[in-house]
Amino acid sequence: MALDPSSADAHAALGWALFFMAANGYTTQIAQMLAMAEQEAETARNLSPSLPWAYTLLGQIHTARADYERAAGYFDIATRLNPSDAESYAVKDHGLFWSGRTDEALAAYETALRFDPQLTNPYFSTLIVVYFAKQRYEDAIALSLQAPWKAAGFENGQVIVVAAYGLLGRRDEARRAADQFRRTAPFFDRTEYVASFVLPELRDRLDEGLRKAGFE
């Protein structure tokens, strides 16, 4: 940017770097880092109103702040500007799901997969959660088994599979999956995790599945 302060791409790139520092825990000043990332994204958007990844970044920032409706608006703009951008659809899926719009979330993710079948986490884990929300428990389990390396280390994908086994009455598999999950997340709090979901009926089913799998 020292060479070209008017470069929208440079401002967007800096914004993404700041966002990833906040999202990946490289700073304790998360709110401040997100604000700095937002400033760079806004600068990029003002310099180049048709730059898709500036809007995707703004969507990511507002998703991190749990402002899902506003995030979805930015993702809509990004996908209109670049209709074949798989990541914008996948991230949009994440925001739509956490705002309780599961049908739209599933459609967004399936669109993303059509453009990029190799999408990885966190989008992969979110699709497992969406399948669970749609009561497609077998699909959630099958997806995790299809590419277990993608689900490994990501709390949402792993714990949802545990609950899916529990609701299907597959107790032995539920217990094994629960034991494996406990080794990767020893401080997991069932009550706190369940409470993070928007839809009451989803919270109830998730809580039931986890109880049946042995989480008290």
Taking 70 as the pLDDT cut, the residues of the chain under it are 1-4, 24, 120-123, 147-156
The confidence score (pLDDT) of residue 205 equals 94
Does the CA dihedral 4-6-9-10 come out positive or negative? positive
The confidence score (pLDDT) of residue 69 equals 81
Q: Where are the domains of the chain?
A: 120-216
Topology (CATH level 3) of domain 120-216: 1.25.40
CA-based max dimension of the chain: 62
The confidence score (pLDDT) of residue 64 equals 84
The confidence score (pLDDT) of residue 44 equals 96
Answer for the pair 174, 211: CB distance below 8 angstroms, yes or no.
Answer: no
The confidence score (pLDDT) of residue 154 equals 57
The confidence score (pLDDT) of residue 130 equals 87
The confidence score (pLDDT) of residue 124 equals 72
Quote the CA–CA distance of 56 and 28 in Å, as a whole number.
24
Q: Quote the pTM value.
A: 0.71
pLDDT digit string, tens, across residues 54-87: 999 999 899 888 888 888 889 889 989 988 888 7
The confidence score (pLDDT) of residue 6 equals 83
Answer for the pair 96, 133: CB distance below 8 angstroms, yes or no.
Answer: no
